[in-house]
Structure 1
Amino acid sequence: MPQSLTHTQLVELADRFGTPLYVYHAEKIKEQYEKLTEGFSSLDSRFFFACKALTNINILKYIHSLGCGIDCSSINEVKLALHAGIPEEKILYTSNGISFAEIEEAVQSGVHINIDSLSNLEKFGKKYGNTYPVGVRLRPNILAGGNLKISTGHEKSKFGIPIDQLDLLKGIVAENSIRIKTLHIHTGSDIKDADVFVHGIKVLSELVSHFPDLEVIDLGGGFKVPYEPEDEETDIAFIADKLKKYLETHLFNKGRTFQLWFEPGKYLVSECGYLITQVNVLKDNGVQIFAGINSGLNHLIRPMMYDAYHHIVNLSNPHAEEKVYTVTGYICETDTFATDRLLHEVREGDYLVLYNAGAYGFEMSSNYNSRYKPAEVLVKEGDAFLIRRRDEFEDLLKNQITVV
């Protein structure tokens, strides 16, 4: 199974569809999903793609075709999943800081729901009582992940109900006869340490006895994918083995078993994605050489927002002598993709590709500076399909109302 698209394929796609261009490789998504299912094959597990990473409905349909469910962070993501044909029993809605109206709409849709605040749980109980099984998202006080901005389980995080508020939680559940089906935690992203997941399940296992209707232990996502050349991917089989050993010796031996749920996002789609750009201009200021490309933080904000690394290759001149460049965007703001990066000699007009662009690339894009959003292409079984057209000028105006 091919793990990546070749340079020649990427150049052909750039020539055919123009740049900047997002390209997604379906077989890479399948490869990642099979790592999860094979790695956790010894445990009763279900996976829900955290679609906030990439919500193009063609991606949702393809991931569902592999057998994966869809995890949603907003009611509109729930609507997109339903629109894509995913049945409600394969959709999970994990809310954060939202109005209760969104939860009501999720109930009407019939999807699985995790609630992350005592306030909304109490409102839920008063309206639905024990008629609709629900999950609660807990804050485990675990600091994990590659960047504090994507670490969600620590004691200062806004996410989840703090575990030290267990008595308040139990009181709301008892008063309203709420059926707690799922205990959920999510500690962060870019996690490769198996002990983080084991620690998480230890925290939850201590709470199991308080919830007699419990069926699911949900450990969220956060599996790491390699961005920099020396990075290592999360060893899924190793994590599964450690979790299984803990569960068999500390929890499942007490007469109760639970299904494990996970919500991988970046792990499924990061490596499938490429952002192909073209060099607009070279500027040598005597200290460094800038390669200014026809994209910017409006298309890929991760380097500016998270200091994220994306591997960059010159597709047009791959065998030339290497030089040091700073790759910048065309946004009227500090807009840097890479600083002092060693690349094969770059010329104006060359195609540069940024790797690992499938997760939180197009999904976090904008029309900042009134720039157009790029097109999206899906490559599946060797064929390329346009799955989103490039913006045109009319797209900048479509929701504006002229009153003066």
Structure 2
Amino acid sequence: MHSQQQSPYQIQGLHTLAIAQEFGLPLYVYDAAKISEKIELFRSSFRGVNLKIKYAAKALTNLSILKLMRMQGVDVDVVSVNEARLAMLAGYVPGQIMYTPSGNSWAEIQRAIDMGLRINVDSLPLLEQIGQVYGPTVSLCLRINPSVADGGNIKIQTGHANSKFGIPNDYRQQIVELVTQYGLNIVGLHVHTGSDFKDAHTFLSGANVLFEMAADFPDLQFIDFGSGFKVAYREGDYVTDMADLGAKVSAAFAAFCDRYGRDLELWFEPGKFLVSEAGHLLVGVNVVKQNPTRTFVQVDSGLNHLIRPMMYDAWHDIVNVSNPGGAPTLYDVVGYICETDTFATDRMLPQVRMGDVLSIENAGAYGYSMASNYNLRERPAEVLVLDGEAHLIRRRDTFEDLTRGMVDVPELATLETI
């Protein structure tokens, strides 16, 4: 599938308002063609190496999205056993799934091993525990913290020295000692330094740490550089130069393989890069509220459906799909949650009226996957536009969904009202 440049009010020829009318609001809508386009861009950027793409499922965890990835030859990276179970429902086999825990329980680690997942070890205690129980019977990858600080918001930087993620490269000798003591089978080295990098510099900084460390492990099958590719959140925003990054990283990797003595696989784990731009959160305008200092557009959604603006101060473009020709007006777009709940401040939009439909862009990554039922609100439905047709891929929550796990205590019924 190939996407074409379209009006922001259409997705593969379907008008956004028609989709909203069919499935209701609020609503997540994903463009399968845009996901395919990003996969192809990624592959074309890394010519001449044995590339393997592992979709970071935490970005958008939906059965149909995972099936779409698998159909296009993309494997999967998971951070929980439940993500792995969903991937297997989508048709993945355990060998296609990289499991990267971060302080997960030993019981979950053992379950992942029993399932046959590829295990990415991110701490010395976990490495020793696996060694004591399983010895050389499990093929392992090591997640290394390269002490590289770069990228966007500090909350999404994961490779700096103070980060909880990975085994610090300062512990190289301790790693070797444990691997030798237990005869561990190390088949991969992994690094992920965070998100929103502009160029190849950060990747190469982390890569050089792994290239040097690789000398300690003669049986490697792959080097995994994680992800962190910057997507555009507004017009004129910088993005990762994929052609430049691909050329430089591929050349460095090929030179490393020559030194290592054989060709290895080059792995990446893009999540946001593949799905962010494909996603639209459609919301309805409940109230346009004039205050002395500003005008609020209050919509039928909030941080419970897209937490990134409040959590990361993230910018998301907003499109008035109902009144695109309206007079430009300055608004604060806010949600319906009983908290400070802001999607955008001082945002110029075509005049917004009660009942209008707005589209919050770049909502494919970390929208639904970080959504909650805060204020006892339902999570929206999800729709995938595939080959020009809109398909429901997750139904909207109901009140029964919200109360299903609650247990009524019979004794409370006999208590007198105070």
Give TM-score scaled by structure 1 length: 0.98
Letter in 2 for 1:140: P
Contact conserved, 1:138 with 1:184, CA < 8 A, in 2?
yes
Structure 1: distance between partners of 2:353 and 2:52: 48
Contact conserved, 2:79 with 2:101, CA < 8 A, in 1?
yes
The residue that corresponds to 2:174 in the other structure is 168
Structure 1: distance between partners of 2:378 and 2:102: 30
The residue that corresponds to 2:92 in the other structure is 86
* Deviation, structure 1 residue 237: 2.1
- CA 1:390/1:254 → structure 2, altered by over 3 Å: closer, same or farther? closer
Q: Which of these residues, 119, 136, 140, is aligned with residue 130 of structure 1? A: 136
> Percent of counterpart pairs with the same letter?
49
- Quote the RMSD (CA, aligned, Å): 1.2
Q: Which of these residues, 150, 153, 163, is aligned with residue 157 of structure 1? A: 163
Contact conserved, 2:257 with 2:264, CA < 8 A, in 1?
no
Contact conserved, 1:328 with 1:337, CA < 8 A, in 2?
yes
Structure 1: distance between partners of 2:252 and 2:63: 38
How many residue pairs get matched?
Answer: 404
Structure 1: distance between partners of 2:208 and 2:119: 23
Q: Which of these residues, 65, 76, 87, is aligned with residue 71 of structure 2? A: 65
The residue that corresponds to 1:7 in the other structure is 9
Q: Which of these residues, 206, 214, 221, is aligned with residue 215 of structure 1? A: 221
Contact conserved, 2:300 with 2:336, CA < 8 A, in 1?
yes
- CA 1:167/1:351 → structure 2, altered by over 3 Å: closer, same or farther? same
* Deviation, structure 1 residue 2: 2.2
Letter in 1 for 2:4: P
| SS of equivalent to 2:61 | coil
The residue that corresponds to 1:399 in the other structure is 405
- CA 1:339/1:6 → structure 2, altered by over 3 Å: closer, same or farther? closer
The residue that corresponds to 1:327 in the other structure is 333
The residue that corresponds to 2:102 in the other structure is 96
| SS of equivalent to 1:174 | helix
Contact conserved, 1:19 with 1:374, CA < 8 A, in 2?
yes
- CA 1:46/1:5 → structure 2, altered by over 3 Å: closer, same or farther? farther
Structure 2, gaps ≥5 residues long:
413-418
Contact conserved, 1:185 with 1:218, CA < 8 A, in 2?
yes
Structure 1: distance between partners of 2:246 and 2:289: 50
Bigger shift: residues 67-76 or 236-245: 236-245
Output aligned runs, 1:220-239, within 5 Å. Answer: 220-239=226-245
The residue that corresponds to 1:266 in the other structure is 272
Q: Which of these residues, 313, 322, 330, is aligned with residue 316 of structure 1? A: 322
Structure 1: distance between partners of 2:290 and 2:183: 69
Contact conserved, 2:383 with 2:393, CA < 8 A, in 1?
yes
Letter in 2 for 1:356: N
* Deviation, structure 1 residue 250: 4.8
The residue that corresponds to 1:279 in the other structure is 285
Please state if 1:356 is matched with 2:358.
no
1:245-297 Cα shifts (integer Å, max 9, x gaps) = 22344552452332111000000000000000010001111210000000000
* Deviation, structure 1 residue 97: 0.7
Contact conserved, 1:291 with 1:325, CA < 8 A, in 2?
yes
1:154-197 Cα shifts (integer Å, max 9, x gaps) = 00000000000111111111100001101100000111221111
- CA 1:42/1:5 → structure 2, altered by over 3 Å: closer, same or farther? farther
Bigger shift: residues 268-277 or 251-260: 251-260
Contact conserved, 1:4 with 1:272, CA < 8 A, in 2?
no
The residue that corresponds to 1:381 in the other structure is 387
The residue that corresponds to 2:348 in the other structure is 342
Letter in 2 for 1:378: L
Structure 1, gaps ≥5 residues long:
none
* Deviation, structure 1 residue 96: 0.7
Bigger shift: residues 190-199 or 305-314: 190-199
Letter in 2 for 1:361: G
* Deviation, structure 1 residue 107: 1.3
| SS of equivalent to 2:137 | coil
Structure 2: distance between partners of 1:70 and 1:250: 25
- CA 1:92/1:250 → structure 2, altered by over 3 Å: closer, same or farther? closer
Bigger shift: residues 251-260 or 27-36: 251-260
Give TM-score scaled by structure 2 length: 0.95
Structure 1: distance between partners of 2:254 and 2:400: 59
Please state if 1:186 is matched with 2:186.
no
Structure 2: distance between partners of 1:362 and 1:337: 15
1:118-150 Cα shifts (integer Å, max 9, x gaps) = 111111111111112110101000012211000
Structure 2: distance between partners of 1:109 and 1:41: 33
